[in-house]
Every structure is written in C-alpha cells, then in structure tokens.
Structure 1
Amino acid sequence: MSTLRGLARAVAAMIGVALVAGCSGPASQPAAGTRTAGATPSASSPAAPTSAPQTRAASPTRISTAATAGSSATEAAGRHGPLRARDVVTGLTSPWGLAFLSDGTALVAERDTGRILRVAPTGRTTQVQRITDSRPSSEGGLLGLAVAPDQKTVFAYYSARRDNRVVAMSWDGAALGRSRAVIDGIPESGRHNGGQLTFGPDGYLYVATGDATEPAQSQDKKSLAGKILRITPQGRPAPGNPFGNEVFSLGHRNVQGLAFDPQGRLWASEFGDQTWDELNLIIKGGNYGWPAAEGSAQLDGMINPKVVWRTDDASPSGLAYWRGSLWMAGLRGKRLWQIPLDGTRTGEPKSHFAGRYGRLRAVKALPNGSGLWLGTSNTDGRGQPKPGDDRLLSVTG
C-alpha cells in the first residue's frame, strides 16, 4: 500500500509540474479526447472506446475563472430556452438519493436521518421507510436509491456499522417492506463511500463505491472499493462482468453520479482529490486511474476523463440525462452543470443557477421527460442553510 501511495504522490507531483508549465505555450493544450469546462469542442476529438481502455494523454489545461464563473447569461440559457426552478418541497434534511416511480412520484433518501420519503409532484410528502441501522458520517449514511424496472422493488445504498451495503425492499405502491441485504462488505469510512445506484438498460443494478480513504483498494480487482459494480437484483455478479466478480470498472476515487444516455452508454461523475473533478464514459473493465492519476495523465492502460473541472467549480454528485445533455450537480461549485452530448463527444459545459441555491447534490430527470428534479445539500454539515433548506426543486425550460 505504501508503494502505491508513493507512486500516487510521485505522479501527482509530475502532474503539478505539468499544470504549472501548461499556463502558456503548446504544452497547455488539453488532453486528446478530454475537455476542460468552458473549452471549445474540437471536431477532431476521438470518440471514446467501447470495449478497450485508451492511453491517457497530456495533462489538462488550467480552467480560467471567467470560463466557469456562471454569469447570468449562462444561468438563463437552457438548450430549449431559459431554465426555471421552483420549490417542490422544503424542510428536508440532507437529501441524497432520488429515484422516480413511473407515475412521477419520487422517493427521496435523507442521508442523516435514514428516512425514505415519498414526494408527490404536488409536494405532498410521506415517510415510507426508515433505515434504522444507517450510520451517518461526514460522507456516509443513507445514500442512493434505485427502483427496479418492474416497480416492485426499491434498492438503497447505506453505511452500516462496519460496511457499506445495498438492500432491497418490496414496494406495494404505498409502503416499503423490510430490507434485505443483496450485497454487503463494501469498505466503509467517514469519507469516500460512493453511494449512487441505477438500473441499466440491461436490467442489472450498477453500484458506485468509493475508495473509503484507502486509495490502493481502487486498483485491487478483488476489492469492492473504488469501483462501479454490476450485479443482478439478487446481488450476484452480473453475467459478462470482466473479472468474474461484481466489479465492472475500477480505478475510481469517489463516484457519486451515474447516468445512462439513450444509446445505453454509462456516464459517471467523480470527485477528484485537490485539483480535478471528472466526468467519465464508463466501459466494461475500464481502469480510470486512481490513485496514480487525478484528471488526465500519461499512464498506459488507463482511461482519460471526458471533462475535468477544478474542484472548487464542481465537487460533483448527482448526474442525469435530459434533452441531449448530461446534467451534473455541484456541491462546492454550487451550480448545475450542463454537458451537451454528441454521441460520445462532449460539448462545452454550461453553468446554471451558480450560487443561487447553495450546494447541489441530487438530480434526476422526470419519467415523462418534462424536466428535472434537483436537490440541495445545505444541511449536510458543510453548507450554510437558508430558510426552507434543504429543498427539492423542479427545473424546466
């Protein structure tokens, strides 16, 4: 472990030198196939691979403050018109997980209370379950939710006393049944727990985990930490997984956002360490570099992020697909990022609502495609709550 950490520190130092050198001259060009927030799309950028890792290219450029400041013009400019936001429900406590039922009703997980709430489009809210053995911490507690395609089972990811785990609960349209573990033993810590869940078009459950503050675990194919897992609804490794276990991709630090686009491609938003946050296009068996790399680096067999942000401008959590773009919620960045997609290519990221609602964590598209729901995270111990926080917002445009 100490050898890997030493390697990580050495690589980080080299990346730091490259970043300083990258302020001027030819060396400042972004990595091939990688876009920094605010950069202009390049028609020559290669598409991401679909079955094999690509080699990381040069270090990314520094992002200018002007490119990511989130002016009123960019806040107002949605792809189809100005974005509008209104409160659906207020007075929540650190909402984290968000999942829709087919009728437009949402299930919301509160990280620190362990409550799962049902929220109607009108804002009417009822508690449908409480995970009593959930252990809240700086970045742990009751986290992601996912509803099975048949709408009969709800899955939740949470931090227990000694591990992170995913449980299944029956859903009868009004209440959740008792929870039963489908996968446990995921390494847990006060920080870097991952926590996002989503069902893929293949019918399998995708689970984002963090490195649990032990970076070397991210490169260990036998560890469940620092990975994206792919499992059956019963908790078994999904057929076709690359390493014969639950692991689908590795080399992650702390993934908190997962979203599929209409072509079935999986995207993930990931917390960096001190410099670069990432948007990645996930492939089976892909290695995304942590702890040897943060952002982009010249490391064979490891995959470049599609977009990188300064951690102050993002600290990304939730991720959703809507109207031709990915929508990424930023915690420290206090804004909603829109990343246009053209196949596997990413356009220039656009900032919305910068600073208006504070820390943003959960984001999901409505089942009918009419908008997004967006959750704030100002009561999580790191924000500055305002009257009404935390809240769910309906975003249309």
Structure 2
Amino acid sequence: MRRHLSVFIALATIVSSSVACSSAPTQAIMSSTSSSSAAPTSEFTRIHHATINNGWAMSFLPGTDFLAITQRTGGLQLLNRTTGELRAISGTPEVYSQGQAGMHDIIPGPTFESDGTVYLSWVRAHAQGAQGVVGRAQLDTATGALNNLEIIWGQDPAAGSGHFSLRLLIAQNYLFVTSGDRQLGAPAQDINSNLGGVLRLSLDGQAAPGNPWNNERWTMGNRNILGIAAAENGDIWISEMGPQGGDELNKIVGGDNYGWPKTSMGSNYDGSDIPDHRSDDGFHAPATYWVPSISPGNLLIYTGALFDAFSHSALIGGLSGQRLVQVTLEEPATELNQWPMNARIRALAQAPDGALWVLEDGESGNLWELRP
C-alpha cells in the first residue's frame, strides 16, 4: 500500500495591483503551512520579466547582471536583469530536440569571472538513438557568443527520447552530472553503465579519482534526476521523478544505491506494483517522497538573506503539481510550505541579491522574480 507523506492543499492566489515595479504585472502569493511543525509562513510578490520559449534551466553568472537560460529546442538566452534586455547567444551546438531531448543545463565554471568558462549539457543524435553530452566553453557576455566549445563527457547512448536528466553541479572541485535511466530501468543497477545515477567527474570530464566503483558513478539506482544542489554544509541533494507517484528528495552519498527500479514508493504506469522501500532492503531510502506526484523539475537550496523563511531549506518546483514546495534538509525531511503557481514550474534560480527567479515550462513560459 502506498503511503502519502505529501497531500496537495488547495491554496488561494491573491492578485494585487498595489505593488509598483516598472510596468510589469505583479502578483502577491500567500503560502500555507502543510505540516504541523512550527514553520514560518511567508508572503511574496512576483514580478514578470520575460516569456521564454521552451525554457529548461537557468543560472546567474557571477560578477555580472546576466541570467543565462537554456531552451530545450536548442537556444540559449542571455537576460540582463538590470536593463531587461534579452538576446540570443550565438555559437550554440546543434541539438536533438525530440521529446525530453534538447538543450538542458548551463552553469558557470569556478573561473567564470576571469575567463568566462561555462559548462553546458545537451542531447545529440547518435547511431544508437540519442546521447546526452556535457561541454565546456567560454561565454563572452559582451558579444553574447559561446567560444571554444568542446565536448568533455558523453552519456551511454540509447533509443528513445526520455530520462536524460543532465543537470550539472560544481562542488568540492568536482563536476557532478545527473544521468537518467533513459526509461530503461535496468541500467540504473548496472555498475558498468553510466545511466541511472549521479556521476562525479573532474572538471575536464574524466572519472574522478576515488569514486566507489572506479568509474564515473557516484551513486546508482536513480531514475530521472532533474534537480541537484549543494547545501552550505557540503551535502549534495537531488530531486528525482518517480514513476506513477513516488517522486523523491534524496541526500546523495557516494557508493549508495537508491533502489530504482527494484524499489520505489510509486507504481508502474500499467498499475503493477513496485516494492516499497524497507529499512532492511539495502537501499538508501528517500528523505521524503510525494504520492501523488508533483513531478519535481528542479531543485534549489536557498542560501540568501532576502527570505528568512527559506533559509537552510530546499525549494522544489512542481511540473504536474504546478506549485513551489519548501522542504527541510534532513533525513527524514519535512514539507514546510507550498505555494500554488498556476503553471508548470521548470526552473529555479537564486539571484545575487537573494531574490528567487522562477521559470515556467512550455512554449510561452513566464519568467518571474519573487521578492518579499
């Protein structure tokens, strides 16, 4: 029997016209505590900045006023958050953009402020179907051009167009890459495959020394990881899409197996059962999970000072759930609050001033700035 840790609470969205911020529409959103813990309740406003076609991921570029935004269909956009100018970045690679495939993530490298280095992930056509790759380049924000793009890592290719994951994180001087199971399941339990887990690489794309299986793998038994973030204490967390129900928040530990497809708190799409996590099954159980699904498309660990209520917690945007969810960073984790967004939430980013930026999914996804 499936256990329900998270239950959707219908919340009211209050639209306000009393907040002045240029000529952009502004809305006030109220949160509601979804657990009995003494969690703070927050109110914030959201300010509209742009409409993005098929936006997928975004990152603020340190030392600049720019937000880099990927578009699944192949584009990269550069938004000047001060002037509001939005322009396309040139020099992008050719992508395979069927289904969930396309341009995926972009993050600044640790030397970005001195040399403009960025890391990108995308999907390219392959003789065996499609292949996720990671590249490194220099982004010139003055000209809006990618230069010296090189591919430094490749995912095991497979047929189909789903579960690439391809989220990127640089932490502890390593490049962490999330690699989905490509809707195949079994590779997530194969230590000789780089599908279905978190990978730990050097910054040039090679398997990092000291990895538990002496290859690229850092974890195994993961399904489709669309969020990865580092906490201030160094812990790394992921948000993971389950099957029918069973979406997960996990703290990753090198060498651990998270169970997919042998165990899950969800069920197969045909209705057949998957064994639940048990304390004695040898797998790392989720910190928390959602039944029914919220479809976590992203993960952000808030480290700013603008929202006291968000401090030291995770924020997850729901695609099917169409809401923003706040969760504690502990095992087990507690859901503190949720806010209805009335749209599928594809990406989250924290601005240098602590504002929270939210990108909606789809062909005309709104880009919002959230402030108290």
| Counterparts of 2:352 and 2:180, CA distance in 1 | 28
Match of residue 331 from structure 1: 319
**1:71 equivalenced with 2:56 (yes/no):** no
Q: Return the letter of the residue paired with 2:60.
A: F
Q: Return the letter of the residue paired with 1:117.
A: Q
After superposition, the Cα gap between the structure-2 partners of 1:265 and 1:196, relative to the gap in structure 1 and judged at 3 Å, is same
| Counterparts of 1:150 and 1:318, CA distance in 2 | 24
**1:153 equivalenced with 2:134 (yes/no):** no
Match of residue 127 from structure 1: 88
Match of residue 41 from structure 1: none
Q: Return the letter of the residue paired with 1:156.
A: L
Match of residue 365 from structure 1: 350
| Counterparts of 1:186 and 1:128, CA distance in 2 | 28
For residues 69-100 of structure 1, what are the alpha-carbon distances to aligned partners after superposition, in whole Å with 9 as ceiling and x for unaligned?
2413895138473122111212x111112111
Q: Return the letter of the residue paired with 1:127.
A: A
After superposition, the Cα gap between the structure-2 partners of 1:300 and 1:104, relative to the gap in structure 1 and judged at 3 Å, is farther
For residues 36-75 of structure 1, what are the alpha-carbon distances to aligned partners after superposition, in whole Å with 9 as ceiling and x for unaligned?
xxxxxxxxxxxxxxxxxxxxxxxxx2357xx322413895
Match of residue 297 from structure 2: 317
For the 8 Å contact 1:115–1:130, the answer to whether it is kept is no
Match of residue 94 from structure 1: 54
For the 8 Å contact 1:215–1:291, the answer to whether it is kept is yes
After superposition, the Cα gap between the structure-2 partners of 1:193 and 1:185, relative to the gap in structure 1 and judged at 3 Å, is closer
Matched ranges for 1:342-353 at <5 A: 344=331, 346-353=333-340
Matched ranges for 1:1-397 at <5 A: 18-19=1-2, 61-63=3-5, 67-72=7-12, 76-77=30-31, 79=40, 81-90=42-51, 92-102=52-62, 103-112=64-73, 114-122=74-82, 123-151=84-112, 152-162=116-126, 163-174=131-142, 175-188=145-158, 189-200=160-171, 202-295=172-265, 296-298=276-278, 300-312=281-293, 314-322=294-302, 323-341=311-329, 344=331, 346-355=333-342, 358-368=343-353, 370-379=354-363, 389-397=364-372
| Counterparts of 1:261 and 1:148, CA distance in 2 | 18
Q: Return the letter of the residue paired with 1:116.
A: L
Unaligned 5+ segments in structure 2 are 15-28, 33-39, 266-275, 303-310
After superposition, the Cα gap between the structure-2 partners of 1:294 and 1:133, relative to the gap in structure 1 and judged at 3 Å, is same
Bigger relative contact order (CA 8 A; separation at least 6): 1
Which SS does the other structure have where 1:273 is aligned?
coil
Which SS does the other structure have where 1:248 is aligned?
coil
Please state which structure has a larger fraction of its residues in helix. 1
Identity %: 27
| Counterparts of 2:148 and 2:190, CA distance in 1 | 33
Q: Return the letter of the residue paired with 2:301.
A: Y
Match of residue 20 from structure 2: none
Q: Return the letter of the residue paired with 1:376.
A: E
For residues 321-376 of structure 1, what are the alpha-carbon distances to aligned partners after superposition, in whole Å with 9 as ceiling and x for unaligned?
112211111111111111133x5552334211242xx11011111234x2211110
Could you tell me how far 1:171 is from its partner in structure 2? 2.4
Query: How many pairs are equivalent?
Result: 320
| Counterparts of 1:131 and 1:311, CA distance in 2 | 38
Could you tell me how far 1:300 is from its partner in structure 2? 2.3
| Counterparts of 2:365 and 2:148, CA distance in 1 | 27
Q: TM-score, normalised by structure 2?
A: 0.81
| Counterparts of 2:188 and 2:232, CA distance in 1 | 29
Q: Return the letter of the residue paired with 1:62.
A: H
| Counterparts of 1:198 and 1:216, CA distance in 2 | 25
Unaligned 5+ segments in structure 1 are 1-17, 20-60, 380-388
For the 8 Å contact 1:87–1:392, the answer to whether it is kept is yes
After superposition, the Cα gap between the structure-2 partners of 1:108 and 1:297, relative to the gap in structure 1 and judged at 3 Å, is same
Could you tell me how far 1:185 is from its partner in structure 2? 3.7
For residues 266-324 of structure 1, what are the alpha-carbon distances to aligned partners after superposition, in whole Å with 9 as ceiling and x for unaligned?
11000101121101111111111000111351252211101111244x10111001122
| Counterparts of 1:237 and 1:110, CA distance in 2 | 28
For the 8 Å contact 1:257–1:270, the answer to whether it is kept is yes
For residues 201-258 of structure 1, what are the alpha-carbon distances to aligned partners after superposition, in whole Å with 9 as ceiling and x for unaligned?
x121111111111110001111111111111121111222111111111101100000
Q: Return the letter of the residue paired with 1:119.
A: L
Which SS does the other structure have where 1:217 is aligned?
helix
Q: TM-score, normalised by structure 1?
A: 0.76
After superposition, the Cα gap between the structure-2 partners of 1:289 and 1:131, relative to the gap in structure 1 and judged at 3 Å, is same
| Counterparts of 2:194 and 2:356, CA distance in 1 | 31
| Counterparts of 1:311 and 1:209, CA distance in 2 | 24
Q: Return the letter of the residue paired with 1:139.
A: Q
